Amino acid sequence: MNYHLYFDDLHHDVLSVDIRDLPISRQRIFIDGTSTTKQFFDVDDQNSYQELINGNFQEFILFIASVIENLVYLAETLTRKVVVHLKGKQPASIVMQNYIATLDILIKLNYRTTDLIYICLNSHKNFLEKYLPTINAYRNSYIHGYNVKLGVNGSEYILDTPLSPIHANSLESRVDLFALAVLENMRVIIPEFLVAITETVKMGHFVPA
């Protein structure tokens, strides 16, 4: 809902160099079964529009980062065989990048076999390696309060200092294209990951990590 209202019809000109199309109005209707939700905004000032996009991009990143974190936490909870931690202290959930790296190491050491969870994550390796660094970096900036991680480059509104392998001022760093790529990939990853977790538990494969 956040993406479709604010980013799938982003007005780069108004955000950057040309305010002649102000005011901007957007309305979206979301239908889920018998439930209908209408959302809209109407702005007549460039600064207000920028703040609107900045704030909702922050919400978008925090939500996506939370989903990814919970996928890791779910995998750790359901498939970890042994947990070692200090008395009275719960182990911290690791981020997805570290989780994938841990799985790679365990498989190389023959301590863990290639399973459905690993296969699922590995099939999305290109997306995860490309987008997770920026998602995590922005998430860490955002959790401390409102932060602006977007800016103007010529006639486009883009991510400010994204992390490699996404290059600053590239097409991939355009805020709407970045958000679309994240959304489309997460739509595929989430159900596949949940199937992998479910099947792993059904088969009784309670594996380390």
Spatial distance between the Cα atoms of 201 and 194, rounded to a whole number of angstroms? 11
Spatial distance between the Cα atoms of 70 and 93, rounded to a whole number of angstroms? 9
CB 43 within 8 A of CB 5: no
Report yes or no on 178 lying in a domain: yes
Alpha-carbon dihedral of residues 15, 181, 42, 17, nearest 10 degrees?
10
Report yes or no on 135 lying in a domain: yes
Q: Which has more confidence, 110 or 135?
A: 135
Tell me how many domains the chain contains.
1
pLDDT at 1 over 70: yes
pLDDT in tens, 44-66: 999 999 999 999 999 999 999 99
pLDDT at 96 over 60: yes
CB 13 within 8 A of CB 155: yes
Full-model pTM? 0.89
Report yes or no on 22 lying in a domain: no
Query: What pLDDT is recorded for position 105?
Result: 86
pLDDT in tens, 111-142: 777 788 889 999 999 999 999 999 999 999 99
* Range(s) of the domain holding residue 127: 56-202
Q: Which has more confidence, 10 or 145?
A: 10
Report yes or no on 12 lying in a domain: no
Question: Closest Cα partner for 16 from 178, 161, 163, 150?
Answer: 150
Query: What pLDDT is recorded for position 149?
Result: 95
Query: What pLDDT is recorded for position 83?
Result: 54
Report yes or no on 26 lying in a domain: no
What would the mean pLDDT of 159-183 be, rounded to a whole number? 96
Report yes or no on 42 lying in a domain: no
What would the mean pLDDT of 69-91 be, rounded to a whole number? 71
Token reading at 206: 């309670």
Report yes or no on 20 lying in a domain: no
- Burial annotation 77-111 (CB, 10 A radius, 16+ → b, else e): eebeeeeeeeeeeeeebbbbbebbeebeebbeeee
Query: What pLDDT is recorded for position 156?
Result: 95
pLDDT at 207 over 60: no
Query: What pLDDT is recorded for position 4?
Result: 96
Spatial distance between the Cα atoms of 179 and 191, rounded to a whole number of angstroms? 19
Three-class SS of residue 196? helix
Report yes or no on 192 lying in a domain: yes
